[in-house]
Structure 1
Amino acid sequence: MYGAIISTLTVLFMTSFSIILAVGEFNGDVAFAILKTIPIMWIIVMIIESAIFGRIAEALAAKFTQPTDSFNAKIVFRILFTVLGMSAAMTFIGDIVGNGFSTEIFSYWLKNWPRNFVIVLIAESLVIQPIARFAMVKLHESQDKKAQLEINA
């Protein structure tokens, strides 16, 4: 659930941002293009994050932190490594989904990836991850309350 919240918010934000930036304006056609692209990008993100980059980020975070390090220290490394891998892959994949495969894709990637990395890192750190953590806290509180009611009944 946590990963689904993060992936959904990131896909909504970055797909919209990238398409609007590429077109240069927002209108009905752009909104329709965003709505068509979001499900495709969400499926791709869910697959590669859970199968590849989430696992790599978890392993790297474990290498760079100690068991005694705080949760916040561990989550910062996890965010950094996940965003690093996902932004690199999705900048490339997003260009293919949006424009098809061409020889210029590599020069576009070199130009767009640093920008995408910084934007997603800031969005993940300041907005997306806190929203997902808040949702999970509320879910756990609800589950604990329900379990307590069942015990008392």
Structure 2
Amino acid sequence: MKFFMRLPRNGREFALFLLVVSLISVNLIAPTVTCMELGFSPEAWGATYSAIVFVWVLVVACVVATKRPVEHVCAKVADEGDSYNMQVLLNIVVSVLFLSVLLTLLAPMVATGETLGHSAGEFVYRWPRNFGVALFVEALIAQPIARAVMNRYHLALDRRGASRTVEERA
């Protein structure tokens, strides 16, 4: 039941889920990672927001590009009898793993114009931190909020469907 109520059922609902997760994530992860590199200051925090729209578009593109590979890996690792929480956590870990690798390489290029060579050279230092921050935000903030939004959305759909059924019977 949790799968049915808390996760997207179709493409339109996936778009809503992705919108919620990506907006929360990009507004928390990007400034945090930037401040960890430049120091926590209002200037460093503000510097993030000049490029955040471009980074958000990159995040959405990377999520869409990695959706099938993530599903494939999760299907290989998880068993059908695994609990909802285990499957959701596995999906989060695999998604964050894929996305943190891509975004550690690509986001600095988009945000600051850094070259891929420089970004790749710094990868070993940046990726573990980025993975940790992203995993924390995704597992404890962004995805739980998005699943709550999906649950409320589905409850509203069910109420609307129930009221239509009552009207049709009358």
Q: Output the TM-score relative to the length of structure 1.
A: 0.88
Q: Where do 5+ consecutive residues of structure 2 fail to align?
A: 1-15
CA contact (8 A) 1:15 1:37 kept: no
User: Residue in 2 aligned with 1:117?
Assistant: 131
Identity %: 25
CA contact (8 A) 2:100 2:131 kept: yes
Q: Aligned partners of 1:29 and 1:111: how far apart in 2?
A: 19
Q: Does 1:145 align with 2:159?
A: yes
The CA deviation string for residues 84-143 of structure 1, in whole angstroms up to 9 with x for no partner, is 010111111122123321643223211010011111112211221111111110111111
Q: Aligned partners of 1:75 and 1:65: how far apart in 2?
A: 10
- Paired residues in the alignment total 151
- Spell out the pairing of 1:71-150 with structure 2 (5 A cutoff): 71-99=84-112, 100-101=114-115, 103-150=117-164
> Equivalent of 2:77, from 34, 44, 64?
64
CA contact (8 A) 2:104 2:130 kept: yes
Q: Aligned partners of 2:117 and 2:58: how far apart in 1?
A: 22
Q: CA RMSD in A?
A: 1.8
Q: Aligned partners of 1:41 and 1:93: how far apart in 2?
A: 9
User: Residue in 2 aligned with 1:19?
Assistant: 34
The CA deviation string for residues 24-79 of structure 1, in whole angstroms up to 9 with x for no partner, is 23326742x3222111111111112112x221111111001111222222112111
Q: Aligned partners of 1:126 and 1:20: how far apart in 2?
A: 20
Q: Where do 5+ consecutive residues of structure 1 fail to align?
A: none
Cα distance change on mapping 1:151 and 1:121 into 2, 3 Å = same
**Counterpart secondary structure, 1:69:** coil
Q: Which runs of 4+ in 1 moved over 4 A?
A: none
Q: Aligned partners of 1:150 and 1:24: how far apart in 2?
A: 56
CA contact (8 A) 2:20 2:146 kept: yes
Cα distance change on mapping 1:142 and 1:27 into 2, 3 Å = same
Q: Aligned partners of 1:43 and 1:125: how far apart in 2?
A: 21
